[in-house]
Chains A and B, each alone.
With several copies, the nearest count.
Chain A
Amino acid sequence: MIAIDQKGYYGEFGGAFIPEMLYPNIEELREQYLAIMADDSFEKEFRQLLKDYVGRPSPLYLAERLSEHYQAYIYLKREDLNHTGAHKINNTVGQILMAERLGKKRIIAETGAGQHGVATATVCALKGIECIVYMGEIDIQRQAPNVARMKMLGAEVRPATSGSKTLKDATNEAIRDWINNPEDTHYIIGSVVGPHPYPDMVARFQSVISEEMLWQLKEHTGKEDPDVIIACVGGGSNAAGAYYHYLNKDQVRLVAVEAAGHGIHSGESAATSVLGTKGIIHGSRTLLMQTPDGQIVEPYSISAGLDYPGIGPMHAHLIASGRAEAVSITDDEALASAYFVSKKEGIIPALETAHAFSALDKIEYDSSDVIVVNLSGRGDKDLATFIKHYDRFHK
Chain B
Amino acid sequence: MSRIKKLFQEKKEDILNIYFTAGFPQLDSTEAVILSLEKAGADLIEVGMPYSDPLADGPTIQQSGQVALSNGMTLDILFSQIESTRQKTEIPLVLMGYFNQVMQYGEQQFFDRCREVGIDGLILPDLPIYEYETFYQDMIEQAGLDISFLITPQTSEERILKIDELTRGFLYMVSNSSITGAKKGISDKQVAYFNRINDMQLKNPRLIGFGISDNETFSTACQYANGAIIGSAYINTLKDSKDIRETTLEFVKMVRGESVKV
Contact = CB atoms under 8 A, between A and B. Distances in A.
| Direct A–B contact present (CB less than 8 angstroms) | yes
Interface string A138-180: 0000000000000000000000001100001000100110011
A282 B54 CA distance: 10
B103 A280 contact: yes
B105 A294 contact: yes
A292 B99 contact: no
Given A20-B174, A295-B51, A280 B128 contact: no
Contacts of B74: 293
Interface stretch (A11-19, A262-270, A323-331): A11-19
Contact of A182 (B126, B150, B154): B154
B53 A168 contact: yes
Nearest to B125: A19
Given A21-B150, A162-B62, A293 B128 contact: no
Given A17-B99, A175-B55, A295-B69, A180 B126 contact: no
A279 B104 contact: yes
A281 interface: yes
A183 interface: yes
What is the interface residue range for chain A against chain B? 20 to 34
A176 B54 CA distance: 9
Contacts of A23: 128, 152, 154-155, 159
A7 interface: yes
A283 interface: yes
B174 A176 contact: no
A278 B100 CA distance: 9
Given A179-B178, A179-B179, A295-B51, A17 B126 contact: yes
A182 B104 CA distance: 30
B164 to A, nearest CB: 13
Nearest to A285: B103
Interface string B59-78: 10010001001000011000
Nearest to B66: A162
Interface string A16-35: 11111101100000000000
Given A21-B152, A180-B178, A293 B104 contact: yes
Contact of A17 (B52, B131, B174, B178): B131
Given A21-B154, A295-B51, A279 B128 contact: no
A296 interface: yes
A162 to B, nearest CB: 6
A175 B62 CA distance: 14
B177 interface: yes
Interface string B147-164: 001111011100100010
Interface string B201-220: 00000000000000000000
Contacts of A172: 53, 55
B177 A182 contact: yes
Contact of A183 (B53, B126, B154): B154
A179 B62 CA distance: 15
B101 interface: yes
A176 B155 contact: no
Contact of B174 (A21, A183, A279, A294): A21
Contacts of B131: 15, 17
Contacts of A16: 128, 130
A183 B154 CA distance: 8
A277 B182 CA distance: 33
Nearest to B149: A20
B104 A19 contact: no
B127 interface: yes
Nearest to B53: A296
Contacts of B156: 24
A162 B59 CA distance: 9
B182 A180 contact: yes
A279 B126 contact: no
A290 interface: yes
* Max count, chain A CB within 10 A of own CB: residue among B62, B154, B178: B154
Nearest to B75: A293
Interface in B183-205: none
Contacts of A296: 52-53, 100
Interface string B101-116: 1111100000000000
B58 interface: yes
13 contacts: A19-B56, A20-B128, A20-B163, A20-B174, A21-B56, A23-B128, A176-B56, A179-B56, A280-B100, A282-B55, A292-B104, A293-B74, A293-B105
Given A21-B150, A163-B52, A279-B103, 14 more contacts: A15-B128, A17-B127, A20-B155, A21-B152, A23-B154, A163-B53, A176-B56, A179-B56, A179-B178, A279-B100, A291-B104, A293-B101, A294-B75, A294-B102
Interface of A: 7, 15-21, 23-24, 162-163, 168, 172, 175-176, 179-180, 182-183, 277-283, 290-296
Closest 4 CB pairs of A and B: A294-B104, A20-B150, A294-B101, A280-B100
